Chain A
């Protein structure tokens, strides 16, 4: 072999603590190395050109670049060597930046370590051989999990791009949290007025199949060819017959059901349609409150339904959909704020969440948009907003900022004044985070034009004063003194958390999540919608706190990724997959048993059973290689010989 070695300085990132020239000089002495140099920036255009030039002039048939992490630039350099006519897999990297220069300052030790890592890469490369990717057809359909604004945007963009969409929503209607909002910041335009048309578009788009009141049961397969089992949770209403007329909801005698859509600010009926603009506009029976389903004689809804859609015997059903890509947009939930004893553990009816307050203000909410106290129905004149309830609070293990509470609190303060002219709002805040376009101006408006009293500090206790009001004790940290406010209503800006079931879904999708259950993107800055599982993309708050414009942007970004993926008829498989040497295989089937992907099958070769790898299904984990006692199945470029070469390079002294 003729190997070329390039020791990148990465400016001073590597050269600052590694003697790159010395590493290159030592590398030149390694077996099969015919050329070694230490360029300033290997990944830059001149650096890549120099590699191509060296391949030609030194007739190289393999290249080692020692620079940053292969997780960063391996694909870059594979393309470089390919341009110069080499097989892209005749390339290895040594990570001398993240694993060497950035973690130690001892130049001598670093140089020695870098040299050994280069030796490792050279030894590995000596065992490489050209690999060819295979093409396989892809299913050009996309699954979108979650029908909030991010999922809706992704669904519409994909469908408009000609890709059939399967949209799965857990609730009975799409719209997500945005559908519950009254107005949106910083324009104070009606949430339903801007989201409604998009929801209708989803319902009417010929390429979108919507499963509402449904959940993901199981996912198998891989990029290009996923198979998804969807659980259609029972609604006890045959939606093919339901016209959404609402007669049942008017007649239902069980009128004390918890109203999830309205955040429980008023009770509702056991059979409901979430809100007038619901998509799909279909009725659902809440099993917990339905008299008929709890052994009492009722069935009033069945009697009044003009189309006979009620079916008390209905059970969950399952549908399987085949898709080539998945967008996850599962959004968020509010954390359980009742853990805070100082705010009353949820005992006081007039201490409510900001989301419940949205429903109070909303014209289509239970109060018709009239702001009243849940306890006595009176109009509140003094409203205290408490920010960061369950956000930025390491004491309860939630150190993260929920991102959009500062803004909606300002909006709610403004709207409170609009609704009740003689009201006074107070906002307890830690910091006002308003970095978006027109955002800071908006919070200033709340203070300057609407007279909202902003108090920088936390609230230590909220309690009823025994005379119909709430006493709010807090600290004004700017003035350095305690404050005490009498409030008619307290609105808590409750922090967000990953949607319930997010972790379980992540495990089904084989994507990662952080300590708080938010899904992990592939790269914080450069791959914000990709995940580490090819073909699975993220949109919206499921990845981390963000407001509506950011969620919509990410929905579109995820759709763009899907459209990019589907721009081709076929996908190239990763050629670094397991291969069987038939003569070594004894047909014991241990590899079949372990393979996480079912990518190995047994087939007859000359009358004997042998393992055979299904190239398009193998994901290249190498579990089979570690399992096969006789080494008959070898993962390309991570063969026993590759790893042994590396071990020997390190240990044989």
Chain B
């Protein structure tokens, strides 16, 4: 391709065939002169515009992207632009966390008869993009070697399940087990500090069951794979929300599920604990109370205040257990909602756009594209069909460039918009410790702002906000070009 002339910038437009493309035609017929920067991609409907196309364009060198559709209520297909409005608004607000100036993306409505309006839209948008200048290229920005600060004030206790309560639970599971193919729980992993999932199929398996603050794996991740089997699952508040979300999406069936609910005050942040412990050979003993964790490591006694090692995600826990439990054990009254900003999001908020892009650039150099974040996510239901690895559609090339790795993170994050229940498994399982939960936390913040405080996984009857629409959106101020 010929290089662009020095004064032209690269602006990509996605126009719906019926209104805006026709509006651009009308402008042409009226010989309404416009800047030449814009290149138009014709799509059937603004609802066809996957926000990922916009990000693909922005990451691959577009200086600006414009989406234009029929006016709301005037969609050729009836409701396509209503969905587009929600998704594109979420996208617009998502861009800054990536370090992309949200002014580089705009969406608007132009009808087939509004040639003049189209001229105005193109001229204004082009002008705005020129005012911003060429977009910084992700692969070319200076990496920002700055670590996310984790020093979050954590005052809460962590979960301790009393032996009596555990026995009660075991008894209940044993009673139910004959009807079930298996029950999902946790067991000790490589040592006392590390737990792994447990698939209880017999009473013998039950003896291995463990349910304390070290058990962080979100067991819900296995449920869609077990569809068709009758399964029991032990949940705490965060797992319960994931269950609710999957129920909303029809990916698991309530009839096939028996839910055993436990109260939870908080979980231990193992990566930070490991860091504090340093390298060790043998973990000989572990005693956990709500406030202290005693370990005997290589013959030495080590004592930690649990409050210092409580997982940061527990600070944002909405507390209340969604009403899905078949059987509940223990006292749930201690669970209270707390709404602090996750430390990784607070950190990113403190950076400017340029620093954010530099920060992610540095992160992506460390990303080894192992997909552990995706594989541990209870909401990543595509499994083998993830578009990050498919040939058709071919969203991602096999090249392991920072740009492609970043795009993978964006796919994962955007696919969770309005669905992420905030369990934080993606980040907890990252072998290189990237603060990728920040992307989801930011999306959750956007969704909450736009859709009246909506939180995924709280109400089994709710419709995920990006899978529905309102004719009049209370919190979306549509961009006007008048």
Contact = CB atoms under 8 A, between A and B. Distances in A.
Q: Do chains A and B touch in the complex (CB under 8 A)?
A: yes
Interface in A83-116: 95, 97-100, 102-106, 108-110, 112-113, 115-116
A346 B53 CA distance: 57
A517 interface: no
Interface in A488-546: 507, 510, 512-514, 520, 532-533
B47 A626 contact: yes
A113 B36 contact: yes
B467 A643 contact: no
A622 interface: yes
Contacts of A116: 1, 39
28 contacts: A69-B21, A95-B40, A95-B42, A103-B31, A103-B33, A103-B119, A108-B5, A116-B39, A510-B75, A581-B392, A590-B467, A597-B78, A620-B44, A626-B83, A629-B415, A631-B387, A631-B392, A631-B393, A635-B44, A638-B43, A639-B393, A640-B393, A643-B48, A644-B56, A644-B393, A647-B12, A651-B10, A653-B1
B60 A651 contact: yes
Given A112-B2, A120-B41, A594-B83, A643 B53 contact: yes
B36 A106 contact: yes
Contacts of A648: 56, 60
A520 B112 contact: yes
Given A71-B17, A98-B24, A651-B60, A103 B392 contact: no
B29 A102 contact: yes
A508 to B, nearest CB: 10
A650 B36 contact: no
A621 B48 contact: yes
B481 interface: no
Chain B CB within 10 A, most for which of A576, A588, A650: A650
A99 B34 CA distance: 9
Given A625-B50, A629-B387, A514 B10 contact: no
A586 interface: yes
Contacts of B468: 593
Contacts of B1: 115-116, 119, 653
A623 B50 contact: no
Interface string B40-69: 111111011110010011001110000000
A115 B50 CA distance: 26
A109 B36 contact: yes
Interface string B375-394: 00000011101110010111
Nearest to B251: A588
Interface string A362-376: 000000000000000
A253 interface: no
A533 B41 CA distance: 22
A102 B26 CA distance: 11
A584 B74 contact: no
Interface in B437-482: 463, 467-468
Given A95-B40, A109-B8, A646-B41, 19 more contacts: A98-B28, A105-B33, A113-B36, A116-B1, A510-B76, A512-B19, A576-B44, A586-B224, A586-B251, A587-B250, A590-B467, A596-B80, A621-B48, A621-B76, A629-B387, A630-B382, A647-B60, A650-B62, A653-B10
B60 A652 contact: yes
Nearest to A121: B42
B111 interface: yes
Contacts of B79: 596, 623
A589 interface: yes
Interface string A11-28: 000000000000000100
Interface residues of A, number: 74
B392 A641 contact: yes
B27 interface: yes
Contact of A631 (B53, B76, B395): B395
Interface string B67-92: 00000011111111001000100000
B134 to A, nearest CB: 11
Interface residues of B, number: 75
Contact of B10 (A581, A590, A650): A650
A622 B39 contact: no
Given A589-B250, A644-B56, A621 B77 contact: yes
A69 B33 contact: no
B249 interface: yes
A594 B50 CA distance: 14
A591 B139 CA distance: 35
B3 interface: yes
A586 B21 contact: no
A653 B8 CA distance: 14
A117 interface: yes
Contacts of A634: 393
B143 interface: no
Interface of A: 26, 69-72, 95, 97-100, 102-106, 108-110, 112-113, 115-117, 119-120, 507, 510, 512-514, 520, 532-533, 576, 581, 583-584, 586-590, 593-594, 596-597, 607, 619-623, 625-627, 629-632, 634-635, 638-641, 643-644, 646-648, 650-653
Nearest to A102: B28
A647 B17 contact: no
Contacts of B249: 588-590
Chain B CB within 10 A, most for which of A26, A625, A651: A651
B276 interface: no
Contacts of A619: 77
Contacts of B41: 120, 643, 646-647, 650
A512 B18 CA distance: 10
A106 B33 CA distance: 11
B86 to A, nearest CB: 11
A120 B393 contact: no
Nearest to B463: A593
Nearest to A506: B74
Contacts of A102: 28-29, 31
A639 B391 CA distance: 13
B113 interface: yes
B4 interface: yes
B422 interface: no
B45 A627 contact: no
A640 B83 contact: no
A641 B394 contact: yes
Contact of A593 (B17, B43, B467): B467
A99 B393 contact: no
B390 A631 contact: yes
B468 to A, nearest CB: 8
B185 interface: no
B53 A647 contact: yes
B71 to A, nearest CB: 9
A104 B35 CA distance: 7
Nearest to B28: A98
Nearest to A629: B415
Top 8 A-B pairs, shortest CB-CB distance: A98-B28, A622-B48, A640-B393, A630-B382, A651-B60, A621-B77, A623-B47, A630-B385
A332 B250 CA distance: 49
Interface string B166-195: 000000000000000000000000000000
A574 to B, nearest CB: 10
B77 A115 contact: no
B25 interface: yes
B32 interface: yes
A631 B112 CA distance: 30
A26 B111 CA distance: 34
A629 B60 CA distance: 21
Contacts of B96: none
A70 B18 CA distance: 11
B381 A588 contact: yes
Contact of A120 (B29, B39, B382): B39
Contact of B36 (A98, A110, A594, A625): A110
B99 interface: no
A596 B78 contact: yes
A85 B293 CA distance: 78
Given A99-B28, A623-B80, A104 B43 contact: no
Chain B CB within 10 A, most for which of A69, A70, A71, A630: A630
